[in-house]
Structure 1
Amino acid sequence: MNNSRLDDTAADSGAPTRPDKARSRAIRRVAVSAALAFAVGGGVLLGATGGGQSQTNSTDTYRQLSLLGDVFEKVRAQYVEEVSDEKLVEAAINGMLTSLDPHSSYLSAKSFQDMRVQTKGEFGGLGIEVTMENGFVKVVSPIDDTPASEVGLQPGDYITHLDGEAVLGLTLSDAVEKMRGKVGTPITLTIRRAEEEPFDVEITRAIITIKSVRNRVIQDIGYIRITTFNEQTTVGLQESVSEIKEELGDRLHGFVIDLRNNPGGLLDQAISVTDAFLERGEIVSTRGREEANASRVNATPGDITDGKPVVVLINGGSASASEIVAGALQDHRRAIVLGTQSFGKGSVQTILPLQGNAAMRLTTARYYTPSGRSIQAKGIEPDIKVELAKIEKIEEGRRRREADLRGALVNPDESDAPAAQPPAEVPTPGEAASAENEDPLEDYQLARAVDLLRGFHLFQNRVVN
């Protein structure tokens, strides 16, 4: 496209137009349409030489592309302010993609570079995974230990304004770009949460360095938290399992894999993480538009936990790659999934490079769990549903027991038993974790997962003995 020639196009104000001007405008419109036809249709005009339905389809396609070229010319010539060709073309491409589904989009050269940096585990921003819903930015999950999580953003929150500017009308890429900025600068988000009145939250931008896997020991249970699936995740999982094994040794009774508020990430990392727990069988299958392009991935021998029981924690912020892991381990009965229903993103996006260092994120397939389930818009249903809550100790007061009664019989096995003492406090899983790790275990879901694994270990020992 020759920009200098297009700059000569006169605005169509209703005044008579000289024949040469009208003719040149028509030629340019055809040129734009032909260029779009080539870019989108890959030479759609060649298809018109065939017969029957093929010719009709090609003609209709070219007519629509001609309409697009006509709109391009009119906007460029008559819009109230001058707009660059690049901006118009990018907007047209992005509009085409975002109209397909919430996850397809155009990536400018800068956005493409930012995405590549993010998958490596370090980037600048607020530390929040978002999607677009009903014209607003919806929080899928805040990332642990980032500005977004520190101010209390929650999965399901809607961001309606950025520094007082309405989000409605922006694309997801535009909104994300506005949330990014110079490290140390603040931004005010207007949040709408459930039935609450909208409120403002000020967040200071920071370098977001994601350590995607963390671990600790809770009593005799290994706890592993996976916050996202980036290039470091599988290595982090392997290191965490090794550290827990070394610390607990024979006292290790099982693992809790916490995928709550994990927004997903790289498909190959989700596959390798799942493979780490399975000896055999399918992990995930993907099915696209053409049956010939369907793929199936199977596990390789080797379970890094040596067959120890596993509980996987999920919630409404567990999406995409998290759901692949949870669904596969659930279908193979390798783990018990506990928590609440997951997000329900069952589609695969492929990054397709474009000219000028740009790219497009295009939904190319749906993925299915080993049993053939598509979780798109449904999510993973946990085996044991446990709502998020906090443990609160209730004081019962001092109660009298048999040993406190005057003249009570002495236990024959403890004839020299000391005088009755106040009953010992039995720690909850949270209290024990606090004493051992100086990190209070307050949430009810994690406490139930720990209880489940310890109960399973006790039951196994009694059956064996």
Structure 2
Amino acid sequence: METLCSTIDVGSSISKSLFCYRFPSIGHRRGVACGRKELPIAYLNKDKKLVKWVGKGVIGLAAATALSFSFYSPALAESLTVAFPVSHTPEVNTVQRTLIEAWSLIRETFVDPTFNHQDWDLKLQQTMVEMFPLRSEDAAYSKVRGMLSTLGDPYTRIISPKEYQSFRIGSDGNLQGVGLFVSVQPKTGHLVVLSCLENSPAARAGIHEGDELLEINGERLDGVDSETAAQKLRGLAGTTVTVKIHRGNGARVSSYQEVKLPREVIKLSPVSSAIIPHKMPDGRLLKTGYVKLSSFSQSAAMEMENIIQDMENQGVQSYILDLRNNPGGLVTAGLDVAQIWLDGDETLVNTVDRDGNMAPISMVNGHAVTHDPLVVLVNEGSASASEILAGALHDNGRAILVGHKTFGKGKIQSVTQLHDGSALFVTVAKYLSPALHDIDQVGITPDVQCTVEMLNSGKDTFKERKTSSSSLEADSCIMVAEHELDIQESKGSAS
């Protein structure tokens, strides 16, 4: 999930939303270009008296049985009135206020100005009417989520205050949980384990990549998305969570297992690395730097820059950047990582707003840490910021892509904390690669594919040809990447 720098101040008469497109840079070279956008003044009409909507809620909202919502947008020079019944249940009343806030933000910023070909104002009124007889906060929030789902965009959503705190912790690179990364398989819809952090509670319990996650604390996960599942796994250090898994993919015997896992404070280091000795066809021994990026957190670019600089000092002559099963993260982190590998004023990505206006995001006098040959590994689990990075490196002629077609998430979300502590994710733009390729729901096709046959049989074949038992050297896609680096090295030597 990608975010633009986004804040909202609803304490003044005119709310302002600040969206910041951070231009990619590392350390002291960082630059930010920002633009303010006027949001509408919102009022409630009661007996022809205007009651201002302010940061702490709608004044006098609970006192009336039915109100009309008068909306005026200075930018659009239009006004409208939406009538709806107001709940006397405090919990539902609070959610109604939250819905008005969310509705307004979506009305002004959502990437599709047709709102999936529906009357967005009428949708607010209908949802408010449906909320009126409800008696619980959960039921009211369910109506909000139902309203947002009609937009036809799975990335525009609302999360609870507790879920938002978990989201912020994860983006900072620290969390309290069990060390599992999970994802939904596109074909089956099943939740599967992408990876376990080394020495995490999940890894110590023997949970493996490819295991299917069936239950969390006895709750079935049918239809649950990966983010919701991850939030259920998180919790305070010292507490426990029980998971039920199915081991069938690649296992000799299909089995079910229920495991009780302790939650711990986990430091997320998104970058891991190794140096692979690589023998060229002519007998020369070269060093290949392998760098795996598991997510795009705030620390990702700086950690990778330090690792690459250290590898350069050790005489590494080529690189493999592994973005497989990297679901994304902060867009700005992806752009910062791209600058480690690129020079000059290259375009990294193009954004397209709701009106179809395209704006390139480009480097400014960039200086790459290394110019050594580079191969980037991708697969169907590489999404969002991973695809932005892969597209930037590929379209600018810096890297060859090896693996499988990527996930295909070409949308950018803003994140706004609402008055009750919940958060609204809104898709505000889509992006195109530097070569203007539309990635959304399409993905990026690599230059060289790792075939299913290679993935299934490559490990054994490779072990027969290699003297090292390194698990990296036994990876079929890394074998293909090394072959591509051989070709690049040979071309360089010939010239």
Relative to the length of structure 2, the TM-score reads 0.66
* Separation in 2, partners of 1:35, 1:181: 28
Aligned partner of 1:161 in structure 2 is: 215
Letter in 1 for 2:311: I
**5+ residue gaps, structure 2:** 1-57, 66-83, 106-116, 278-286
Q: Is the 8 A contact 2:123 2:147 kept in 1?
A: no
CA distance in 2, matches of 1:351, 1:227: 22
- 8 Å CA contact 2:472, 2:478 repeated in 1: no
1:337 corresponds, among 390, 401, 410, to: 401
1:239 to 2:295 alignment: no
Q: For 2:342, which of 278, 282, 286 is the aligned residue?
A: 278
Give the secondary structure class of the aligned counterpart of 1:272.
helix
Measured after TM superposition, the shift of residue 119 of structure 1 is 0.7
- Of 356, 361, 364, the match for 1:291: 356
SS in structure 2 opposite 1:392?
A: helix
Task: Read off the aligned partner of 1:359 and give its amino acid letter.
Answer: A
1:108 matches 2:108: no
Q: CA separation in 1, counterparts of 2:120 and 2:310?
A: 60
Amino acid of the residue matched to residue 443 of structure 1? D
Q: Which has the higher strand share?
A: 2
Greater C-alpha radius of gyration? 1
Tell me if the contact between 1:162 and 1:190 (Cα under 8 Å) persists in the aligned partners: no
CA offsets 1:287-314 (integer angstroms, 9 cap, x no match): 121234x432112334434421100011
Match of 2:208 in 1: 152
Structure 1 residue 447 displacement after superposition:
2.1
Provide the residue aligned with 2:169 in structure 1.
117
How far is the alpha carbon of 1:176 from its aligned partner?
A: 3.9
Cα distance in 1 for residues equivalent to 2:375 and 2:188 = 37
Is the 1:140–1:261 Cα contact (8 Å) retained in structure 2? no
Shift of residue 167 of structure 1? 2.5
What root-mean-square deviation, in Å, do the aligned CA atoms of Structure 1 and Structure 2 show?
3.9
SS in 2 for 1:291: coil
Whether 1:209 aligns to 2:267 is yes
Maintained 8 Å contact 1:160/1:166: yes
- With a CA cutoff of 8 Å and minimum separation of 6, indicate the structure with the bigger relative contact order: 2
2:438 is aligned with 1:368:
no
Equivalent residue runs for 1:28-427 within 5 Å: 28=86, 39=101, 64-76=123-135, 83=136, 86-99=137-150, 100-126=152-178, 127-130=180-183, 138-139=191-192, 141-142=194-195, 144-145=197-198, 146-147=200-201, 151-154=207-210, 159-168=213-222, 175-183=229-237, 185-191=240-246, 199-200=256-257, 202=259, 204=261, 205-219=263-277, 220-248=287-315, 252-279=316-343, 280-292=345-357, 294-387=358-451, 388-389=455-456, 390-392=458-460
Q: Aligned in 2, Cα 1:105/1:319: closer, same or farther, shift over 3 Å?
A: same
2:169 maps to amino acid: V
Give secondary structure in 1 for the equivalent of 2:175.
Answer: strand
Structure 1: stretches of 5+ with no match in the other structure: 8-25, 44-56, 77-82, 397-426
Between the aligned partners of 2:63 and 2:186, the Cα distance in structure 1 is 40
2-side partners of 1:242 and 1:72: how far apart? Answer: 57
Query: In the TM superposition, what whole-angstrom CA distance separates every residue of 1:397-427 from its partner, at most 9, and x where no partner exists?
Result: xxxxxxxxxxxxxxxxxxxxxxxxxxxxxx6
CA contact (8 A) 2:159 2:424 kept: yes
- In the TM superposition, what is the alpha-carbon distance from 1:160 to its structure 2 partner? 4.2
Residues 142 and 148, structure 1, Cα contact 8 Å, conserved in 2 = no
C-alpha separation between the residues in 1 aligned to 2:450 and 2:360? 32
Cα gap change, 1:164 to 1:135, in 2 (>3 Å) = farther
**Alpha carbons 2:378, 2:446 under 8 Å: kept:** yes
Size of the aligned set, in residue pairs, is: 381
